[in-house]
Structure 1
C-alpha cells in the first residue's frame, strides 16, 4: 500500500519541487507532519501507527483538511482510532470520538465488487477553519500476512510544506530491500537482533502555485522511501508463478472455445483471434495490483463463466486459450501509467498491472484494453520495466516508442466561396499505437458529435460538421475516419486578408499553447511523447480570386523535435504541408527553450495571414 495515497485524501498533492525557488518561500512554516511507526515481524505480519498533524492555512484547504482517510483490508487487517482532535485558533480543543469515524467500502472495492474487499475509515473533523490544527493517530494491524509479504512506500509532496518521518523495525534476520528517491533521507542499521530503518524528509519552498503543465507523474518527482520483503524481482516472479499454478488449465470447454474462435487459423493469426475474443467478451473489472491486493487469479474456467475479470484473470484466460492452440505465453507484470522513473528498490509497489507476452512472436499484448489492437501497447506501457513470469523468469523492458511508429496523417481540401463560406473535407489515418486513443474518444455517435464540435470550436473560423469512422470496436480493421465541415460566411472576402483556414485536428496531442508557461524559468521536466503528426491540405480561393502571396516556409529542428511547414501554388490554389515530429518522451527543465522554440513555431505558423487578389 502506498502511504502517499492517504496523504492525497488530505489534499497534500505529492509532487516534489526541484529547481530554483524564491528565497521567501523557504521561510514558510510546516503545514503538516506525518509519522509512521511500523513493527514488522518474522512471519511478515506487522502493525503501523500513523500520526498526522496539520495546520489549515488556506480556505481552499478546509474541505480536504476536514477528514483523514485510511484504507485497510478486514480479511487481513484491523483498524483502530487512537486519538483525533481539532485545536481551534482560540485554544478550544474538540475531541473526535470513534463514532465520528465513517467506515465504508473503499473506492476500489466499489469499483471491483467481489475482487477487492478493502474498506476506508474516514475521520470527520468538526468545525475546521483557517488556523485550525487537526490531529489523528490511527493503528492498522496486519494479523494475517499477505501472500507477497510486506511492501510499502512513504512519500512527501510539494504543494504544501511538511515533514515526513518513518520508523520501521524488523528482525535482523528478515531480508528487506530498502531504497529512496528524490532526497528522502534514511538510515538502515542492525541494533542487536533488530533491523531499524529511520527516514525523514522536510519539504520547504512549497506552494500550490508551483504546478506546471505537462509535468511528469507526481510519483516520479516525489521524495519517497520504499521498504519491502521482496528483495529481488525474480523472487516476485517465482512467487506469482506458484500462486497462479494450475489456473490456466485447458478444460474441454476452453479447448472447444479456442477451436471455435480460431476457425482453423494457426500461429499469429490464431493468437490475434483469441486476443480479440477476450478483449470483446470479458469485461474488465479494474483492480490495480498492490502489496495488499490478491495476487491469486481466478481459474480460466471461472473467468469464462463469469464473463468478467481483472487484469490477472484476462491474462489467465488468454493463456489457457493460447495453450489450447499450442501457443506459448507468459504473464508480464508491469506498471501501466505515465511514470518514467523505475522504483528505487525491489517492491511489489513497482507494478500495478499485468499483460501477456508471446515469446514465439516477441510481442506483448494488453487484453484488458478494449481499444488496443493485438500486439499494441499504449504509451503508458512503453519503455517500462516488465517482469516476465514463467519457469525462467526475466526482468526486462518493453520497447520504446519512436516517432515513426506513432504517425498521424490528416489529408484534406478546403474551399472558400465568394460569400466567405468555408467548406472542407478531410481523411485521417494513424498508426496502431495512436488508434486506441481515437477509438475510445470516437467510440459512439454522441462522442463523435461532441468531438467534432470541440475540434471546430478552436479553429480560426467556427463551423459545423460531421464525421464517419470505421468500426471503433473492430480491432482487426485499421481505424480511419473522414469528416466534412462548413463555416458559413466566416470570411470577409472583400477585405482580401484573413487567417489561413485550417482543418479540425484530432491528433492525440495537446494544443501548443498549453506548453507555454507564465514564468520564464521552467521548474520541472516537460512530458512529451514521441510521434509524427502530418497535416496536408489544398486551399482553393473564391472564383475569380487568387492568393497574393504564400505564408513563409518554416523549418525549426532541434533535439526535442522538428516543425516543418511548406507552401506552394497549384494553379490558383495553395497547397499546405505541415509536419510536427516529437522525438523524446521527457525534456529536462533546463532544455525547455528547445520545447518553446518548437511550439512557438507551430503557433506562429497557425496564425499565418493570407491575402486575396482578384484575377
Structure 2
C-alpha cells in the first residue's frame, strides 16, 4: 500500500478529497473474470521498529504488478513522504521486472527529492518532501520491486507514536504491517478489515502484526464519502485515549505572544462598537478570514505546532493551526472563550477508536459560550456556518479531549423569479432575480467578490450554456462587501432564437439560473443506484418563471403539474396559461429534510422516486406554434379552451401517474 500522507495538520487532502491515497482504483472485470485493475499490490511488508521516544525506523518491501496501460502512470513511480529535518529515506533496492522477466535497475538519477504540492491551492513553505522513485521499462505485465528504509530521527510528537494505513483501493495481497515496540509501551489499534495476530513479546520488545488481503474494491460512487469512513482502515497509536492526544496538542499550542499588548489593542479596536460576545466573535472571525491568507509553513515540527499569534498577525498568513491560534488570541483579548477543535477536513466522517495524526488533519475553533464552531480558513463561509468539509463529524476539543459532533446539517433558502419576454422574431429579453439566504449566500458572494471581469463574463456564458441557451447577460448584486445576510443577484440580457417564429417549437419550462433545483437534482441522480454513504445538504427553494409570448404564437400543449413527497423530499410544480395576455407561468417548490449531511444507500432508495418525478418535471416543455393573422381569431378560441383545461388540471388532484411518493 502507498504510505499515508496525512500526518500533518492542515495538510492537503488527496485528489478525491477522501483521506485515501489518490492512486486508489476500482477493480474492473474483463470477460472471463480477468482483473483489469490498473495495478495489483502483489505483496508488501512494512516493519516499524519504534523507540520509546517515538522515533522509529520503517522498512518497506513491496511488489506491484502493472496490469493495464493506466497502471503505468500509477505504479511507474513511487512516492515516499518524509520531513528532511526530522527523517531520512534510503532506497535499498529498486528495479523493474519487465513482462519477459528481465531486470531493469533504477539508476541513481531516477531517484529525486521533490517538495510536496501546495495545500488547498495555497503555497507551502516546508521541510516535507517526497522521495520519488521513477521505474524504467514499465509496461503492462511488468512488476516493480522496491525496498526502502525510512528513519524518523526526530519523533513528530516526542514520546508518542501513531500510524495510519488506508487501503490503496487496488487489489492487495500478502500485505503485512509489523510494529516492533518496547514491551513497556502498549500499542492500541483500530483494525477494521485487517486481521490482528496475537502480540509476541521477547527480549523486552513486543511485536504486533496485522495482515490484509482484498481482491477487489467497488468503484467510488459520485458524491460518496471517503472509503475509510465505512470501509477498511488500520490506525495504531501509543496514545491511550483522546484526552492524552488533546493534551499533546494543547501543550504544543501554548503561546506567550497571546498576551502581546499590540495584539490585545488591535482586537479591542476592531470590536469597539460590538456590545455582545457573539458580535465580537463575528467581527474578529470576519477580519481573520478576510485578511489572513492560507499559507502552510511546515518547518521542523511546524506540521503540528502552530506559530505564535503575534507573528501570524504581523505576517498576515498561516495555515489552519495558525488561524486558530490568532483567532483564539483575539477572542481572549475581548473576553470571549474559545479552544481548538481537532477534526478531519474532507469526507472522512468517522474517527477511529484510537487517536493519532492521520485521520485528524485539521483544526477549527470551538466557542463554548456561544455553543458553535468557526473555521476561519474558510474565507467564503459566513459566521455561524461551517464549510461542508467540516460538517457532521466528530471533533476533539483540545481542552480535555472531549469528543463533540459538529452540526449535522444546515439549510440554505433560495427564492427566484425569471421573466422572459419573447419578440416576434423569436429572440427574447430576460431578467432573473435570486434571493439566497443561509450557507450558500456568502459562498456565492465570495465567488463574485474575487472574480475578475473576464471570469465573471465566462461565468455568465456558462450559466446560459448550462440552460441550453445562447445570448448575452449582465449581472447586478446587493453589496458584495457584506459578510453576512442574504444575497440578491439579478441577471439580465438577451436570448438568441428562444422560439422559432416559423415552426412548431418546444419552449423549455426553465425556472432557474445559478444552481437551484436543477443543479441539486443532477447531483442527486449522479448515480442510478447507491451502495455507499453519500453527502447530502439541505435546501429550500421556490422558483417562478413568467414567459410572455408575442401575439403570433399559439400554445399547443401545457405540461402537467407534478407532486412528490416523502420523509426526505417535497416537490411540486404548477403551470398556467393566460390566453388574454399570452403569458405562461411556472412555479416549482422543493424542500429537503435530511437529518444529516451524510445519507445512506437505503435512504437514497426511498428518496429516488421523488427525484425521478422532479427529473421528469424539470425536462418539461411548452409546445408553441406560429399562427397568421387570418386564423388568429379562431386560434384564440382554441387557446382559451386549452387554458381552461390547463388551469383546471393545476387545481385538481394529480392523476394516478402523479400521485405523491409516500415514505415507506
Q: Same fold judged by TM-score > 0.5? A: yes
Q: In the alignment, which of 444, 449, 453 is matched to residue 457 of structure 2?
A: 449
* 1:169 Cα deviation after fit: 1.9
Asked if the contact 2:422/2:498 (under 8 Å) is kept, the reply is no
Correspondences of 1:509-528 after superposition (within 5 Å): 510=519, 512-513=521-522, 515-516=524-525, 522-528=530-536
SS at match of 1:3: coil
Pick closer, same or farther for the CA change 1:476–1:247 going to 2, 3 Å: farther
SS at match of 2:542: strand
* 1:172 Cα deviation after fit: 2.9
Pick closer, same or farther for the CA change 1:460–1:478 going to 2, 3 Å: same
Q: In the alignment, which of 396, 412, 423 is matched to residue 417 of structure 1?
A: 423
Pick closer, same or farther for the CA change 1:224–1:25 going to 2, 3 Å: farther
In structure 2, the residue matched to 1:167 is 178
Asked if the contact 2:246/2:397 (under 8 Å) is kept, the reply is yes
Q: In the alignment, which of 600, 604, 607 is matched to residue 619 of structure 2?
A: 607
Measure, in 2, the Cα distance between the counterparts of 1:92 and 1:611.
69
CA deviation string 1:506-549 (max 9, x = no partner): 2278463455578x654434432222233222222223656455
Confirm whether residue 356 of structure 1 aligns to residue 330 of structure 2. Answer: no
Correspondences of 1:97-496 after superposition (within 5 Å): 97-107=107-117, 115-147=125-157, 149-160=160-171, 162-181=173-192, 183-192=193-202, 193-206=204-217, 210-220=219-229, 222-247=231-256, 249-267=258-276, 268-286=278-296, 294-390=303-399, 392-402=400-410, 405-442=411-448, 443-444=450-451, 445-476=453-484, 478-496=486-504
Asked if the contact 1:180/1:345 (under 8 Å) is kept, the reply is no
Pick closer, same or farther for the CA change 1:262–1:62 going to 2, 3 Å: same
Measure, in 2, the Cα distance between the counterparts of 1:348 and 1:27.
34
* 1:586 Cα deviation after fit: 3.7
Measure, in 1, the Cα distance between the counterparts of 2:269 and 2:347.
38
SS at match of 2:93: strand
* 1:191 Cα deviation after fit: 2.4
Measure, in 1, the Cα distance between the counterparts of 2:2 and 2:225.
18
Pick closer, same or farther for the CA change 1:231–1:565 going to 2, 3 Å: farther
In structure 1, the residue matched to 2:660 is none
Measure, in 1, the Cα distance between the counterparts of 2:238 and 2:554.
74
* 1:611 Cα deviation after fit: 3.2
* 1:397 Cα deviation after fit: 0.7
* 1:111 Cα deviation after fit: 7.4
Asked if the contact 1:156/1:201 (under 8 Å) is kept, the reply is no
Measure, in 2, the Cα distance between the counterparts of 1:46 and 1:375.
43
CA deviation string 1:79-115 (max 9, x = no partner): 1111000111222211123442101222258977775
Asked if the contact 1:247/1:298 (under 8 Å) is kept, the reply is no
Asked if the contact 1:562/1:582 (under 8 Å) is kept, the reply is yes
- List alignment gaps of at least 5 residues for structure 2: 7-12, 626-634, 637-664
Asked if the contact 2:3/2:80 (under 8 Å) is kept, the reply is no
Q: In the alignment, which of 537, 541, 550 is matched to residue 558 of structure 2?
A: 550
* 1:253 Cα deviation after fit: 0.7
Pick closer, same or farther for the CA change 1:409–1:25 going to 2, 3 Å: farther
Measure, in 2, the Cα distance between the counterparts of 1:45 and 1:283.
33
* 1:34 Cα deviation after fit: 2.7
With normalisation by structure 2, the TM-score equals 0.82
With normalisation by structure 1, the TM-score equals 0.89
SS at match of 1:323: helix
Deviates more, 1:151-160 or 1:352-361: 151-160
Measure, in 2, the Cα distance between the counterparts of 1:352 and 1:563.
39
Measure, in 1, the Cα distance between the counterparts of 2:172 and 2:598.
27
Bigger Rg, structure 1 or 2 = 2
Pick closer, same or farther for the CA change 1:52–1:201 going to 2, 3 Å: same
In structure 1, the residue matched to 2:642 is none
SS at match of 1:278: helix
- List alignment gaps of at least 5 residues for structure 1: none
CA deviation string 1:6-61 (max 9, x = no partner): 9989997336889x999936798945433211111222111111122111111122
Pick closer, same or farther for the CA change 1:410–1:188 going to 2, 3 Å: farther
Measure, in 1, the Cα distance between the counterparts of 2:298 and 2:415.
35
CA deviation string 1:452-500 (max 9, x = no partner): 2111102243332122233445414543311113212221245454132
What is the alpha-carbon root mean square deviation over aligned residues? 3.4
Asked if the contact 1:109/1:117 (under 8 Å) is kept, the reply is no
SS at match of 2:85: coil
Pick closer, same or farther for the CA change 1:288–1:491 going to 2, 3 Å: farther
Correspondences of 1:39-58 after superposition (within 5 Å): 39-58=49-68
Measure, in 1, the Cα distance between the counterparts of 2:283 and 2:337.
15
CA deviation string 1:551-584 (max 9, x = no partner): 2111122344233222234664333221333433
Asked if the contact 2:65/2:141 (under 8 Å) is kept, the reply is yes
Pick closer, same or farther for the CA change 1:271–1:155 going to 2, 3 Å: closer
Asked if the contact 1:247/1:297 (under 8 Å) is kept, the reply is no
Measure, in 2, the Cα distance between the counterparts of 1:225 and 1:308.
35
> Size of the alignment, in residue pairs?
606
